[in-house]
Structure 1
Amino acid sequence: MTSPRTRFQTFDDPSHAKGPERIAALRAALREAGVDGFVVPRADEHQSEYVPANAERLSWLTGFTGSAGTAIVLSDEAALVVDGRYTLQAPAQVDTGVIAVVPLGQSTAEAWIKRNLKADAILGYDPWLHTAEGVARLERAAQAAGGSLRPLPANPVDAVWAGRPKPPAGEVVAHPITFAGEDAADKLARIRAALETAKCDALVISDPHNLAWAFNLRGSDVSHTPLALGYAIVPREGRARLFLVSSRLTDEVRRALEPVADTAPRAEFEDAIAALRGARVRLDAATAASALRSRIEAAGGTADLGPDPITAMKAVKNAVEIVGTRAAHLRDGASLTRFLAWIDRRAAGGGLSEIDAVEALEDFRAAGGDLRDVSFPTISGSGANGAIVHYRVTRGSDRRVAPGELFLIDSGAQYPDGTTDVTRTIAIGAPSAEMADRYTRVLKGHVAIARAVFPKGTTGAQIDTLARLPLWEAGLDFDHGTGHGVGAFLSVHEGPQRIAKTGTVALEAGTILSNEPGYYRTGAYGIRIENLVLVEDRAVEGGERPMLGFETLTLAPYERRLIRLDLLSATEVAWVDAYHARVREALAGGLDTETRAWLDRATEPLGPAA
């Protein structure tokens, strides 16, 4: 399939050929600044997952393109600390002769600093790229090494980054009430009530996702998430003020904001912070830069570090958002099913590449209507590449989808009425017995989450175990969380809710999460099955406590060729058959004859369990 439209993804190869040159240039800048080292996080001033091109300092410096990581560059050595998602990717992208790749399981950035920073050395940092708690951790590490930590007035990476991109200037648009379900005035009233409860005089909104939700705005300043970068100050009394990076506000936005807020350029934000003299100002502990705390305190105010109340409000979707996300998943499911039928026809001959699959799926989604962007770069991994949890195909890594292999595709889309995220693992030709065993164990965990009924107050950590038990029984596990929160035409990774060993937040009705257990055999294949689920109230006959359960939102068939019936219980078979029947009923009417016939075969009843 081909299309003349602009694609949402590129497949350029990261280059670390200039790694030594760039590290050397940074070290020279550090000497000029009077420091002995510098911390380079993968972050912008909002702690965003996707950052604008001018904030991709870690990628420019090291070649590493992952969404999380921290480099520490000292005068004679350097390290890149990455989590378990990137232990295979990072060494492939980074010049390890210059930068040591350190898995987070072996050492944190702070522990590395304790071991390697010399006594009396000064470690520099950019106070706009670290939270107050992050700075406190760095300071403790530097002091433990006998050194000290110093904020720098300008980022030295920027000083040596020739050709650094300009800040984004995307158009800011209104998110209509027909999708938002609640107007900005009502949201601001809820926010001010939360400030009253917290005894704060104002809230600084530092998270662009929260800014977008509170004022019903969307933008295009970063890839894959419809954000307008900037800040807002919401006083407990008086008008809110927005400080946006872009001045490209549509007339519709200006009319919508006029009753509730004033707008100003980002350049005026720091003066507005300084004007909060004597005020108690809530700063979001998770996203507010350390620089904000310093400026508030320098003006005689009190920085109240805590959760931005918007985060919890945004997580609970209203009735309009829920209707919208169901519609988005119906549209997305039809596009994904067309893709699955297409790849089933095409891949067996071995002529299909990972990039071919990414482009085809994007085209199917575009043809399905209302596509605004992909919600993250598609993970399209065949064979051994599928074992790299957050693999991102490039022209250099692209490989053919070969018979006898597994093909993992994890993708999502941004529609004006909802955000999707779905993973399917496909057998190309006949799978091995081991592949089927592992897939079925992953499926059992996936079904256990989908079927779960649990008391209100249950945390994601308590639910997480259900997904792992079938793997644990075989001495297996996976090194990522089972589920993350998802926004409504916002971030595909949204807190505070998550299903993970570290998921300490109680799940609430109206929140959306992923259900995505997996298994990865390094150098061979990867398996992941992912649907999005909506937490809903669940009545239990004869029950004594309020209960919750999950509605599965994603609509796409599982891979029948990888399911071992002898490993499934009758209850699990019945659940899969009922889900497949629902998928067939929901999607069949919108599919062409050939795809509908494929879907009929893909969703036939599994048969009796052993």
Structure 2
Amino acid sequence: MHPTFPPAKFQSFSEISDPDLIKPRVKKLRSLMQSKKLDAWLTPHSDVHRSESLPKNQRRLAHITGFTGSAGTAIIGTNNAALFVDGRYTMQAPLQTDTGIFEILEIPNEKPGAWAKNNLKPKAQIGFDPWLHTIAEIRSFNLQLKNHGVLLATENLIEKIWDDRPPPPFKNIELLEVGRAGVAAKEKILAIQNHLEDKNADALILNMPESICWLLNIRGRDVPNTPVVLAFAIVHKTKKPELFVDLKKLSPEQSQLLSAIVTLRTMEEFSVSLEKLAKDKARIWVDPTTCPDAIYKLLSEKGATIFEAPDPVVATKAIKNPTEVAGM
């Protein structure tokens, strides 16, 4: 007797994306682009923290295209548009977006900057949000564009037309004891400060939640699938790091405990601290593959010296301590 199996179940995207919503949204975006004298708008999947799994209020690419994959980029011109996805999503993307508006192109064979060069008019004005693109991404796009157009940093236009945008995530923060982390946060901070000393850098900018949470032994539930807190951090060579986070996520007891190892600040104070570093002519360590272009521009234009190198936390946390190994 042959075994029987239930019918195969295939993934469906109809419940989470409606291509019929895309046309009116793109129309609103193009109207706003025209008022800003922009010939195109560039938008990535990523948020400022380079997250793959995004909280609902950060899903800008999904809002304007309908595409809900974990990686992608779109360019919306006044009369044409393209959605760039990798090989995982060449079947999903056409089901979720309006293919009468968006041409679906597969990366790395097709590149956004090259598409812009070939499909936009000469000297096209291309708007982008500098907080959502890294230093390296903007350099790469400009190389592909080959002076055919100009990238213009501006406010985020998709947010302007997103009428029912959800609020930011609000989940409590968890502090890990040494028994769970294996190494105290103070020791981890000292190790990174030693890297700063070796490279003659005054401070390190962190926007990746994975690095920040590992360094400070904190966890959260701000994004799906990954137990991280959305935050920024500045690790100083000779004083306590600054942690920029929604302080309402911390209990009074947690705030007191964290204050022993970091200076707690609101998210809104991040730019203020960056400006102070720049005015002090500090030498600042940034990772060009993860650091937003906006941070680079702010620091360099205000007088800081930029040192570009990989985030040292990434390599440091890759070497697992016995407690971490036991927890695998």
- How many angstroms does 1:262 deviate by? 1.1
Residue 113 (1) aligns with residue 116 (2): yes
Residue 320 (1) aligns with residue 323 (2): yes
Q: 1:151 is matched by which residue type in structure 2?
A: A
Q: What corresponds to 1:98 in structure 2?
A: 101
Listed as ranges, the matches of 1:327-406 within 5 Å are none
SS of residue paired to 1:162: coil
- How many angstroms does 1:13 deviate by? 2.7
Q: What corresponds to 1:151 in structure 2?
A: 153
Distance 1:305 1:32 in 2: 37
Distance 2:128 2:118 in 1: 18
Q: What corresponds to 2:257 in structure 1?
A: 256
- How many angstroms does 1:191 deviate by? 0.3
SS of residue paired to 2:272: helix
SS of residue paired to 1:59: helix
SS of residue paired to 1:17: helix
Distance 2:303 2:318 in 1: 33
Q: State which structure, 1 or 2, has the greater radius of gyration over its C-alpha atoms.
A: 1
Is the Cα contact below 8 Å between 1:169 and 1:246 reproduced in 2?
no
Is the Cα contact below 8 Å between 2:137 and 2:289 reproduced in 1?
no
Q: 1:308 is matched by which residue type in structure 2?
A: D
- How many angstroms does 1:53 deviate by? 1.3
- How many angstroms does 1:140 deviate by? 2.7
**Partner deviation per Cα, 1:275-299 (whole Å, 9 max, x = no partner):** 0020011112221100001111122
Distance 2:21 2:76 in 1: 15
SS of residue paired to 2:222: coil
Distance 1:291 1:199 in 2: 23
Distance 2:246 2:113 in 1: 32
SS of residue paired to 1:223: coil
Q: What corresponds to 2:207 in structure 1?
A: 206
Distance 2:166 2:16 in 1: 18
Q: 1:19 is matched by which residue type in structure 2?
A: I
Residue 89 (1) aligns with residue 103 (2): no
Q: 1:259 is matched by which residue type in structure 2?
A: A
Residue 37 (1) aligns with residue 40 (2): yes
Listed as ranges, the matches of 1:58-97 within 5 Å are 58-97=61-100
Listed as ranges, the matches of 1:153-302 within 5 Å are 154-245=155-246, 247-276=248-277, 277-302=280-305
**Partner deviation per Cα, 1:55-111 (whole Å, 9 max, x = no partner):** 100001111010000000011100001111111111111111111100115311122
Distance 1:245 1:38 in 2: 30
Distance 2:259 2:14 in 1: 42
Distance 2:25 2:306 in 1: 37
Aligned length: 314
Stretch deviating more after TM superposition (270-279 or 129-138): 129-138
Distance 1:248 1:257 in 2: 12
SS of residue paired to 2:151: strand
Is the Cα contact below 8 Å between 2:130 and 2:292 reproduced in 1?
yes
Distance 1:255 1:25 in 2: 47
- How many angstroms does 1:256 deviate by? 3.0
Distance 1:20 1:118 in 2: 23
Distance 2:299 2:306 in 1: 6
Distance 1:78 1:303 in 2: 35
Distance 1:180 1:12, change over 3 A: farther
Distance 2:254 2:217 in 1: 9
Q: 1:47 is matched by which residue type in structure 2?
A: R
Is the Cα contact below 8 Å between 1:175 and 1:216 reproduced in 2?
yes
Q: What corresponds to 2:3 in structure 1?
A: none
SS of residue paired to 2:249: coil
Is the Cα contact below 8 Å between 1:69 and 1:81 reproduced in 2?
yes
Q: 2:153 is matched by which residue type in structure 1?
A: P
Is the Cα contact below 8 Å between 2:14 and 2:96 reproduced in 1?
no
Distance 1:286 1:36 in 2: 27
Q: 1:131 is matched by which residue type in structure 2?
A: T
- TM-score w.r.t. length of structure 1: 0.50
Distance 1:175 1:128 in 2: 30
Is the Cα contact below 8 Å between 2:247 and 2:265 reproduced in 1?
no
Is the Cα contact below 8 Å between 1:202 and 1:233 reproduced in 2?
yes
Distance 1:254 1:246 in 2: 8
SS of residue paired to 2:327: helix
Distance 1:73 1:114, change over 3 A: same
Distance 2:169 2:247 in 1: 7
**Partner deviation per Cα, 1:399-422 (whole Å, 9 max, x = no partner):** xxxxxxxxxxxxxxxxxxxxxxxx
- How many angstroms does 1:221 deviate by? 1.1
**Partner deviation per Cα, 1:134-193 (whole Å, 9 max, x = no partner):** 11122233344x2211111x1000111111111222211102222110010000000000
Q: 1:239 is matched by which residue type in structure 2?
A: K
Q: Mark the runs of 5 or more structure 1 residues left unpaired by the alignment.
A: 1-9, 326-610
Distance 1:128 1:105, change over 3 A: closer
SS of residue paired to 2:234: strand
Is the Cα contact below 8 Å between 1:220 and 1:226 reproduced in 2?
yes
Instruction: Give the one of 47, 52, 61 matched to 1:49.
Output: 52
Q: Mark the runs of 5 or more structure 2 residues left unpaired by the alignment.
A: 1-12
Distance 2:14 2:21 in 1: 19
**Partner deviation per Cα, 1:303-327 (whole Å, 9 max, x = no partner):** 22211100111122110011111xx
Is the Cα contact below 8 Å between 2:207 and 2:231 reproduced in 1?
yes
Distance 1:284 1:105 in 2: 22
Q: What corresponds to 1:310 in structure 2?
A: 313
